[in-house]
A and B are shown apart, each in its own frame.
Chain A
Amino acid sequence: MVAPRAGKIARSERVGYLPQSSDEPPVRLRASSWLHLVARMKRSDAADVEAYARELGVDEALSGPLEALSVGTIAKVLLLGAFTASPGLIVLDEPFAPLDARSRDALTAMIERAASSGAGIVVSSHDEMPGLGGDHYVLQQGKLVPRAPGARRWRVLIGSSDGTVEHVVDAAGRDRLLREALDAGHEILAVEERS
């Protein structure tokens, strides 16, 4: 945690926090016990946690000890812990990074639902989050710059026997283009974000 250097924080009564995923060992508790205790620390009834757990596919894992779970499943349990603050303030640090495609969609739906029920949600991510509503910002040289979702553009330079072709695409287009170019046996000459 970084100590604040200036300003004032008007604290919400309930704050949920998801730290960046790591492989450090969990506490020695059943996952459900940990969630229950975290919710009680926030004076939350955690009514939605079971539904969220089903969406992330970890409802059965909650009855087991945390130390027996995989890193990915522990990340999902930590995510559930953050959502016990709903409808308070939920701060998620790289929540999509440890998730599979299905769980990413589920998390996007969870964030949207929590936000619509009055929760304030802050998500930090290195990846594009085109599926998420709300205000999007990019950190540029220490300053937050507003940016519409999906507005980041990449210049992709592809070389083939016919010559060199330049494309300017969004994140999804970049991934698709790179996959197709590699499948076709072309050479990727450059991938760079356009300022």
Chain B
Amino acid sequence: MISGVWYYVLITARRQAVLAPIVTLFAIVGIVYATDAGPPLAAATVPAAFLVPIGAWIIRLVATAESKPFADVTLVALGSGARRHVCRGAAALIFGLGLSTVATVWARIANTHHDYASGVVLTMVVMNVVLVIAGIGLGSLLSPPLRVTAGAGALAATIIALVSLVIRFVPPIGPVLDAYIARRTSGPIALVEATTVGAVAFLVAGVLGRRDR
């Protein structure tokens, strides 16, 4: 399994296309922290919210990194579609963890007018990781082996993110924004909701993928 994860990390990292979500996150973080971004947790919700579509983007890049003959060989070598699904998800998570770290460290360095206590930094890390997990889970529903075209996948990911932004009680993004900007709801509960959405979506994609590989 570990070699499968490493394989997907390597073949995705060598795709030029993987630069697009990375540069997008850099741009968002750069814009947010270009001036005084405000209280640390409220400021951190903006890049964290973008990590949902970016996570979805990355899992799709991982899942489309090999052509059909090579994907078939990998499927047989790993032994099952479920193992391949887990390997792809873990590989996407490694990229997501890297981006989450960048978002957190960038905030800590750039937003100098505010106090970043260790508890705040930890909450930021958890928030980023949770939302990237939600994105990976939702993105796995829009990626091979499920038959969703790139355009339909991008559209679906955008709609999901927008709906969750506008209708604040719809996870994964809305409740997190409510909790850390408006402080109307509980932060931990919002994060648990977002994690659940990601995990359930990932499981559903795995089950659907068994019938559609």
Q: Which of A's residues lie within 8 Å of B, judged by CB? A: 1, 3, 11, 15-22, 24-29, 33, 37-38, 40-42, 78, 81-82, 91
Given contacts A17-B73, A42-B77, A81-B73, contact A24 B68 (CB under 8 A): yes
Can you offer 8 A-B residue contacts whose CB atoms are under 8 A? A1-B72, A1-B75, A16-B76, A24-B68, A24-B69, A25-B67, A41-B7, A78-B70
Interface residue count on the B side (C-beta < 8 Å): 24
Q: Secondary structure of the B side of the interface?
A: helix
Residues of B within 8 A of A1 (CB): 72, 75, 213
A3 — which chain B residues lie within 8 A by C-beta?
211, 213
The number of inter-chain residue pairs (CB within 8 angstroms) is: 66
CB of A24 to closest CB in B, whole Å: 4
For A14, the closest partner residue in chain B by CB is B77
The 8 A CB mask of B171-213 against A (1 = contact, 0 = none) is 0000000000000000000000000000000000000000101
- Is B144 engaged at the interface, CB distance under 8 Å to the other chain? no
Task: A1-B72, A18-B73, A27-B70 are known; give 7 further A-B pairs, CB within 8 A.
Answer: A1-B75, A1-B213, A17-B72, A17-B73, A17-B76, A20-B69, A41-B78
Per-position 1/0 for B58-82, Cβ under 8 A of A: 0000000111111011111111000
Residues of A within 8 Å of B68, CB to CB, are 19, 22, 24
- Asked if B113 is at the interface (CB within 8 A of a chain A CB), the reply is no
Contact A27 B76 (CB under 8 A): no
Q: How far is the CA of A1 from the CA of B69 in the complex (A)?
A: 10
Known: A22-B69, A24-B69, A81-B73. A15 touches B11 (CB 8 A): no
Q: Are A28 and B69 in contact (CB under 8 A)?
A: no
Tell me whether B77 and A78 are in contact (CB under 8 A).
no
**Shortest CB distance A29–B (Å):** 6
Contacts of B65 in A (CB 8 A): 27
Contact status B74-A41, CB under 8 Å: yes
A82 to chain B: closest residue by CB: B73
CB contact between B11 and one of A11, A17, A28, A78 (< 8 Å): that residue: A28
Q: Please give the distance in Å from A107's CB to the nearest CB on chain B.
A: 17
Least CB distance, A20 to chain B, in whole angstroms: 8
| Structural contact, B14 and A15, CB atoms closer than 8 A | no
Q: Which residues of B contact A81 (CB under 8 A)?
A: 73, 77
- Are A27 and B79 in contact, with the CB atoms below 8 A? no
Q: Give the CA-CA distance A98 to B65 in the complex, in Å.
A: 24
- Residues of B within 8 Å of A17, CB to CB, are 72-73, 76-77
Q: A37 touches which one: B3, B14, B15 (CB < 8 A)?
A: B3
> Given A11-B79, A15-B79, A81-B73, do A37 and B6 touch, yes or no (CB 8 Å)?
yes
Q: How far is the CA of A90 from the CA of B112 in the complex (A)?
A: 60
Give the shortest distance, in Å, between A63 (CB) and chain B (any CB): 17
Report the bound CA distance from A43 to B161 in whole Å. Answer: 40
The answer to whether B3 and A27 touch across the interface, beta carbons within 8 angstroms, is no
Q: Which residues of chain B are within 8 angstroms of A37 by Cβ–Cβ distance?
A: 3, 6-7, 10
**Chain B residues, Cβ within 8 Å of A20:** 69
